[in-house]
Amino acid sequence: PLPSMLDERMVRDVVYGFYDKIRADDMLGPIFNGAIADEEWSHHLAKMCDFWSATLLRTSRYQGRPLPPHFALPGIGEEHFRRWLTLFKATVQQLCPPPVAALFFERALRIAHSFRLAIAFNRGE
Ligand code: HEM
């Protein structure tokens, strides 16, 4: 049975499960694997656990700026965000009880929307 509460363990399972899907994905795999070298993945995953822990559990573990690295990714558009969100939704639905899955997904959707706008604005679209 699924655990019922959002905790650090669930954050970790979601992050690892999600980036497993991402790295195996035809569309997003090459983008992520191109930006993050093999030996940097464990650092990236730890940072993403910090990010989600800070975002949903209000720990202060992530102190970074999430947006800027995304400006450096060439050719990121609508279809990439749609795919990212599809894989994220599939992950949280597999690993979390419905209210927790909804919490993760709502937050991801909101952040994805703000990134999309910022990237388009940055390009002068
Ligand atoms: C970092 C790709 C959407 C949160 C990164 C990195 C890549 C990436 C390649 C590593 C950059 C580097 O270290 O050089 C993408 C792509 C996306 C996407 C292709 C969608 C098309 C999102 C969304 C979120 C997010 C929706 C939040 C819900 C983050 C965070 C970092 C990150 C927190 C770490 C930033 C830091 O270094 O502090 N992303 N991302 N990303 N991404 Fe995304």
Inter-residue contact 19 to 47 (CB < 8 Å) = no
Residue 109 makes CB contacts below 8 A (sequence gap 6+) with 85
Q: Does residue 104 surpass a pLDDT of 80? A: yes
Between the CA of 1 and the centroid of ligand 1 the distance, in Å, is: 31
Cβ of 54 closer than 6 Å to ligand 1, yes or no, is: no
Which one-letter DSSP state was computed for residue 67? S
For residue 31, give the amino acid letter: I
Enumerate domains of the chain plus CATH numbers: 8-122 (1.10.490.10)
Q: pLDDT-based confidence at 122, cuts 50/70/90? A: confident
Q: Does residue 67 surpass a pLDDT of 70? A: yes
Query: How confident is the prediction for the chain on average, in pLDDT?
Result: 95
Q: Which ligand 1 atom sits closest to the C-alpha of 47?
A: 34
Of all residues in the chain, what percent carry a pLDDT higher than 90?
A: 89
Cβ of 109 closer than 6 Å to ligand 1, yes or no, is: no
Cβ of 51 closer than 6 Å to ligand 1, yes or no, is: yes
Q: Which residue intervals of 1-97 are DSSP H helices?
A: 8-24, 29-35, 41-57, 68-71, 78-95
Between the CA of 41 and the centroid of ligand 1 the distance, in Å, is: 12
Q: Does residue 118 surpass a pLDDT of 90? A: yes
- 89 vs 1 pLDDT, higher one: 89
Say what angle helices 98-122 and 78-95 make with each other, to 10 degrees: 160
